[in-house]
Structure 1
Amino acid sequence: MKRIDGFKVEVFESVRGGKVWFLVRLTDYPSAKAEANSLPDAMALLGRTWDDIKVAYRDQGLKPPRPPRSRGNHRALMMLRWLASRPPLSPDVL
């Protein structure tokens, strides 16, 4: 899987006018996208587009976006710990 600055890159192919076109975009930042008639050209154009986006954020005094951090099973493990910490049900309820 291709990545740019940690963001996953989605690749879409389409045929228009007898030619194959490649649309690439960042999965978690969909407004960053590019289109070209070859995949390497589309990836290079997306890289330049992403660099322009980062510069725009820095010019405004903001940090550029970063991909969301994968937390894996964190939420499920927290729920299991919470359930395990609860007192057992009384026999009357069961």
Structure 2
Amino acid sequence: MQASVRNLCPMIRWSVNISRTITSSSVALNKANESNLDPIQKLYLEKVRAYAKKSKASSGAMVDPNPQILKEIEQETIKLNRLYGGGDMTQFPEFQFNEINFEEK
């Protein structure tokens, strides 16, 4: 029984090494040969790269907001100000806790 397990161990190690090699080489090949991608993969990569470029240019703001989305955000902000008493909704609130005097009679 032990001999058969010892015989399998090199095979398992070999298969793990081969799968790691295939995986890492396929990633390297995909980066090098983007011309071999199908049209849908190319389009997806182009859109992701364009969004990343626009996102960096906008420095944290929304990318290509349309007027309807901006109007909805403004309406929700007004509603939250009305419900929770206004203030700056972009900052974390400051809490003040008063010391309780337990020795009062």
Q: Would the TM-score normalized by the shorter structure come out above 0.5?
A: no
Larger helix proportion of the pair: 2
> Which structure has the bigger radius of gyration?
2
Structure possessing the higher relative contact order (Cα contacts under 8 Å, 6 or more residues apart): 1
Larger strand proportion of the pair: 1
